[in-house]
Amino acid sequence: MIPRTPPSVADRQRSYFRTGATLALSFRLEQLGKLRDAIASREAAILEAVKQDLGRPAEEAYTSEIGIVRAEIDVARKRLAAWARPRKVRTPLLLFPAASRIHTEPYGSVLIIAPWNYPFQLAIAPLVGALAAGNCAVLKPAEAAPHTSRLVAEMIGATFDPDYVAAVEGGAAETRALLEERFDYLFFTGGTQVGRIVMSAAAQHLTPVTLELGGKNPCIVDRDADLEVAARRIAWGKFINAGQTCIAPDFVLAHKAVKPALLEHLVAAIGKFFGPDPMASPDYGRIVNERHFDRLAALLRDGKAVVGGQSARPQRYLAPTILDGVSWDAAVMQDEIFGPILPVLEFEDLDAAIATLQARPKPLALYCFSRDRARQDEILRRVPSGGACINDTLGQYLNFRLPFGGVGESGMGAYHGKAGFDTFSHRKGVVRRATWADPGVRYPPYRTPLAVLRRVISFLL
């Protein structure tokens, strides 16, 4: 007798999902509450794990890893009943007497693959949307952040039945094995190259997918910008988490008339944030591992460092660096930097600058500093991007009423708040008809002249 293969985690979760246990709103709210409590009881451990993996200060880690997730859970618990309520839509006369509604239903078992740069938040925040929508879920935390991965796995294992929510640790082999299983939805956050692999795997089962990728996010500083404020906000958005943020400004495109002054303000902002020696600052993080450090260190050969440029491989330290004299053809301008290196280029004509950006892949984020509303709107209208923020950086990520996601090579699909609930929900159209009227004109044999039928159908639909 041939031994039976034990059911996979996806199969076990699909069986559990089919019991209908996850569908009740009371159950979903209870599970979101359990997740919130699990996080609250592990705050110190989460902060320590993130510090071990990325050298991040507690204040920065709390805001971007714990605070955001708790807010996401609170929004979902408060709004879930409204999100899940069937939405009535107009019914054409052709179907009279009837009512039409859009129902949301969960997909089933979803796979969430998390990255290493915000290893707690980017694992748990998508999970909130998945559970709010009524799904089961498998989390694959990032192996490049081993301390946080271990903590996420422990927390999930201690909080949920694995037939409902499970965490699978491991590297590329474990990820490939998960991708070979048949899930009902895939949610991936990471780089474009791996995103293509995930999408290819999803195609084998025709599984719907959300890809949260990255790109070279431009930051335009126009001639009328408040340079001191712009420099402070750009430096904050760029150097938080040592630049390892998918929506960080990847390069600045400054008007030629203000570029020298902007560079001075950027240098001053870095000094104010991290002192004369950022390596000694308790508020500045580290590169995640030696492989990424070596990649970033090689990019320092391009242009001239106006500030920074120092590095120490044993400590995975790379100073916050501003590069001047960088060409569009330089290596640092080819791929997403994902580190604390900020090239500053210049432009004179806005139309030419926009044309240059239009010729590049669509970024995940677009930033613009300008007081001129017409020029702001021109940039927003003509430069496509996943999201955008005017006169600040990262702001589009912090409003849960806004969908967050990429476009083109920076990703597909969106989440956060209701957008996360919608991502993990199938929108099912439902028509409910009465039986007291059933006109025979719709049935064969057909006797209505075609000319009359055209006018009638146009009216009835």
* Catalytic annotation, residues: 212, 246
Q: Are 266 and 356 in contact (CB under 8 A)?
A: no
Peptide bond into 141 cis (omega under 30): no
Q: Give the CA radius of gyration of the chain.
A: 25
Burial class (CB in 10 A: 0-12, 13-18, 19+), 90: exposed
Instruction: Say how far apart CA 18 and CA 20 lie, in whole Å.
Output: 5
Strands 109-113 and 185-189: parallel
DSSP 415: B
Within 281-341, where are the H helices? 290-299
Q: Which residue has the tokens 């677009």?
A: 366
Instruction: Say how far apart CA 128 and CA 135 lie, in whole Å.
Output: 10
Burial class (CB in 10 A: 0-12, 13-18, 19+), 442: exposed
Cβ partners under 8 Å of residue 414, min gap 6: 210, 403, 404, 405, 423
Q: Are 189 and 122 in contact (CB under 8 A)?
A: yes
Peptide bond into 7 cis (omega under 30): no
Instruction: With H, G, I as helix, E, B as strand and everything else as coil, classify residue 391.
Output: coil
- The pairs formed by 326-334 with CB atoms below 8 angstroms and a separation of 24 or more are 326/251, 326/302, 328/356, 330/302, 330/303, 331/298, 331/299, 331/301, 331/302, 332/299, 332/302, 332/303, 333/216, 333/251, 333/302
Angle among Cα 89, 417, 18 to the nearest 5 degrees reads: 70
Q: How many residues does the chain have?
A: 461
Instruction: Say how far apart CA 367 and CA 220 lie, in whole Å.
Output: 6
CB half-sphere exposure, 354, CA atoms < 13 A? 15
